[in-house]
């Protein structure tokens, strides 16, 4: 997950619907109650200090992107216009019906599964399955909610926008609640589909669903008519489409993927090319003319109520708007309108407000934004404005994201195992009280607590913050890194398994990293990245009344520290002192 920086704007400029929303579990849901308790902990006062502090208007509930509805729509339509080719025609033998199974690719622009279905068929039926195992299930080992309420809301918005964008281009989105292996064969039979197109995933749970769908389709018999009176089963056609560099364009098979990122990066930069975004026809229609009534029509987008979730407004942090239109609007805002790309490398380690990074990661994770589109826009910016270290660094981060996806293909389930891909033998604690103090932001270390409260309130945390809280959990607390990884799985808007678990194996020293025991000194990180304590005072307002130099070091004015630091405040040998500009390896690399 790449970290990206945004622009601040006054909260008063946003309509009420754009105010930040904190999505909390409904009391009746047993797993979801965990999030409610966490939110209560995150909003409680941690010390006896009281302060009338109210954050500056510029950082109150900032919508991302901050564009108005009309400007967002205009930016999206301009992107579609540049990628539409009026001369595109279906293949000569195109006919019948294809189904497009949308998964983590909730976009129209540069969606190869959608483009191939259109080219190979006379009619296209887009489908999304609201899988209860994903939206109402639990994480694998520790039983946290598999999808937190904030990500569920973001997904709902992504589906709504996808439906509108398909409708503008002659299609619609059929939505069904249930397991894809049950839904897709029934739909394929009802509309006599010859193929189900989908983007390929790499991790075990997703791969299992692919196998089950394929097995279900093999049992469906579609009469072909004609003199031969043949019958065929629909095919499942899986397409690679989640990375900037295509898997077929790597200079080596995935089985030979280098175990060091720098080797991978240098190889693809010198020997591979990024494919251009695919072009769209003016219309993707028509949809099938028959069979929809048999399966109950187009269905409806889920609501938070139907998922057992509720909404509470929050005035703090950022409120990410889901959907492809918002994603394209954000690229326009960050690159072109506010011209922030040219300073990305200098600002990317910030933590407070929407200015310090592109914030593309939630849309990349949901597939609402194509990494190849981001690459194209960087190249266009370099031609029209400036090419410098900052413009390159966005691509550098996207290559990290690719690397984690390819690693998950190479190593499979080992990225979820305690010893990681290298099978490192270590002793870890699963102390529940310590873990909950970390999860709830009650460790007694303001920099840790502020970051964890931001995660709970917004579903987002800066790249720098993720590195720090990961190091604290595994190095200072000695807690099983998988507990942290599963909690991030619950909370993050930009969660995807390859990046999340790839990053955590790095942070825990069990990933493919030659430096196993990296340590982030909290005092040093605080002094470097929050020298005036503005970040911690924002999320821990009880610290606002303290002198700036004391906010990160409040002593008895704040809650008691739950554990001593592994190396105290003065040990710098293990600290992350290397310069990312010259030694570009992070303990925790977010998905952009």
Q: Report the 3 state secondary structure along 245-296.
A: CCHHHCCCCHHHCCCCHHHHHHHHHHHCCCCCCCCECCCCCCCCCCCCHHHC
Residue 442 in contact with residue 41, Cβ under 8 Å? yes
Residue 81 in contact with residue 31, Cβ under 8 Å? no
Among the listed residues 527, 530, 536, 533, the one whose alpha carbon sits nearest the alpha carbon of residue 570: 527
According to DSSP, residue 441 is labeled T
According to DSSP, residue 576 is labeled S
- Residue 292 phi, psi dihedral angles, 5° rounding: -70, -40
Q: Strands 174-177, 21-25: parallel, antiparallel or unpaired by DSSP?
A: unpaired
Q: How far is CA 524 from CA 530, 567, 577, in A?
A: 10, 12, 9
402 is in an annotated binding site: yes
496 is in an annotated binding site: yes
50 is in an annotated binding site: no
142 is in an annotated binding site: no
Q: Identify the residue whose tokens are 């942090």.
A: 317
> Which two tokens mark 445?
């270390």
Q: Report the C-alpha gap between 84 and 279 in whole angstroms.
A: 5
According to DSSP, residue 583 is labeled S
- By the 10 Å C-beta count (0-12 exposed, 13-18 middle, 19+ buried), 337 is classed as middle
> Which two tokens mark 4?
């990206």
Among the listed residues 161, 73, 162, 117, the one whose alpha carbon sits nearest the alpha carbon of residue 286: 117
435 is in an annotated binding site: no
Q: Identify the residue whose tokens are 């995933």.
A: 201
Among the listed residues 21, 56, 552, the one whose alpha carbon sits nearest the alpha carbon of residue 353: 56
Terminal Cα distance for the chain, rounded: 4
Q: Report the C-alpha gap between 134 and 57 in whole angstroms.
A: 37
259 is in an annotated binding site: no
404 is in an annotated binding site: yes
> Which two tokens mark 548?
């700036």
293 is in an annotated binding site: no
315 is in an annotated binding site: no
361 is in an annotated binding site: yes
In DSSP terms, 199 is beta-bridged to 239
380 is in an annotated binding site: no
- By the 10 Å C-beta count (0-12 exposed, 13-18 middle, 19+ buried), 412 is classed as middle
Residue 25 in contact with residue 145, Cβ under 8 Å? yes
357 is in an annotated binding site: yes
Q: Report the C-alpha gap between 316 and 124 in whole angstroms.
A: 42
Among the listed residues 197, 238, 234, 237, the one whose alpha carbon sits nearest the alpha carbon of residue 219: 234
Among the listed residues 127, 103, 144, the one whose alpha carbon sits nearest the alpha carbon of residue 195: 127
In terms of phi and psi (left: phi > 0; alpha: psi -120 to 50; beta: otherwise), the region of 192 is left
Largest CA distance in the chain: 87
409 is in an annotated binding site: no
82 is in an annotated binding site: no
298 is in an annotated binding site: no
445 is in an annotated binding site: no
Q: Which residues are annotated as a binding site?
A: 344, 357-361, 397-404, 494-496
Q: Which residues are annotated as a binding site for FAD?
A: 344, 357-361, 397-404, 494-496
């Amino acid at each position: 997950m790449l970290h990206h920086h945004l622009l601040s704007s006054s909260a008063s400029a946003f309509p009420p619907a754009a105010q930040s929303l904190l999505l909390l579990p409904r009391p009746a849901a047993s797993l979801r109650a965990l999030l409610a308790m966490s939110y209560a902990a995150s909003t409680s006062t941690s010390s006896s200090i009281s302060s009338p502090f109210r954050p500056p208007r510029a950082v109150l509930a900032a919508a991302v992107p901050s564009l108005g509805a009309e400007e967002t729509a205009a930016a999206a339509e301009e992107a579609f216009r540049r990628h539409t080719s009026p001369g595109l025609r279906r293949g000569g033998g195109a006919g019948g019906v294809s189904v497009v199974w949308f998964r983590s690719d909730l976009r129209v622009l540069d969606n190869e599964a959608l483009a191939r279905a259109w080219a190979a068929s006379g009619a296209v039926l887009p489908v999304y399955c609201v899988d209860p195992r994903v939206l109402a299930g639990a994480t694998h080992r520790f039983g946290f909610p598999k999808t937190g309420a904030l990500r569920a809301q973001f997904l709902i918005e992504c589906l709504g926008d996808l439906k509108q964008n398909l409708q503008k281009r002659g299609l619609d989105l059929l939505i069904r609640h249930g397991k894809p292996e049950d839904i897709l064969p029934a739909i394929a039979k009802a509309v006599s589909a010859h193929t189900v197109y989908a983007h390929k995933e790499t991790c075990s749970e997703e791969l299992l669903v692919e196998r089950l769908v394929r097995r279900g389709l093999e049992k469906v018999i579609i009469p072909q008519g004609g003199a031969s009176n043949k019958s065929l089963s629909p095919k499942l056609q899986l397409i690679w489409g989640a990375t900037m560099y295509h898997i077929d364009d790597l200079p080596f098979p995935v089985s030979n993927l280098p175990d060091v990122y720098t080797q991978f990066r240098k190889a693809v930069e010198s020997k591979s090319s990024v494919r251009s975004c695919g072009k769209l026809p003016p219309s993707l229609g028509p949809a099938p003319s028959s069979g929809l009534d048999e399966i109950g029509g187009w269905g409806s987008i889920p609501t938070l109520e139907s998922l057992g979730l509720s909404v509470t407004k929050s005035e703090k942090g950022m409120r990410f708007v889901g959907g492809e239109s918002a994603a394209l609007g954000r690229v326009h805002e960050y690159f072109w309108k506010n011209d922030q790309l040219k300073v990305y490398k200098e600002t990317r380690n910030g933590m407070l407000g929407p200015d310090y990074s592109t914030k593309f990661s939630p849309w990349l994770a949901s597939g609402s934004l194509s990494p190849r589109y981001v690459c194209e826009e960087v190249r266009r910016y370099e031609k029209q404005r400036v090419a410098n270290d900052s413009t390159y660094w966005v691509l550098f981060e996207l290559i990290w994201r690719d690397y984690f996806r390819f690693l998950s293909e190479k190593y499979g389930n080992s990225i979820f195992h305690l010893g990681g891909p290298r099978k490192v033998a270590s002793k870890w604690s699963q102390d529940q009280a310590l873990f909950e103090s970390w999860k709830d932001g009650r460790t007694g270390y303001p920099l840790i607590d502020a970051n964890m409260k931001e995660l709970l309130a917004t579903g987002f945390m800066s790249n720098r913050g993720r590195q720090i809280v990961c190091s604290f959990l595994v190095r200072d607390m000695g807690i099983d890194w998988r507990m942290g990884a599963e909690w991030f799985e619950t909370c993050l808007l930009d969660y995807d398994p390859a990046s999340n678990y790839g990053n955590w194996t790095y942070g825990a020293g069990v990933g493919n990293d030659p430096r196993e025991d990296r340590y982030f000194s909290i005092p040093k990180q605080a002094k470097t990245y929050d020298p005036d304590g503005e970040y911690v005072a924002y999320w821990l307002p009880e610290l606002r009344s303290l002198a700036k130099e004391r906010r990160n070091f409040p002593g008895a004015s704040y809650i008691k520290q739950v554990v001593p630091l592994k190396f105290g405040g003065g040990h710098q040998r293990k600290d992350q002192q290397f310069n990312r500009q010259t030694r570009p390896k992070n303990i925790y690399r977010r998905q952009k």
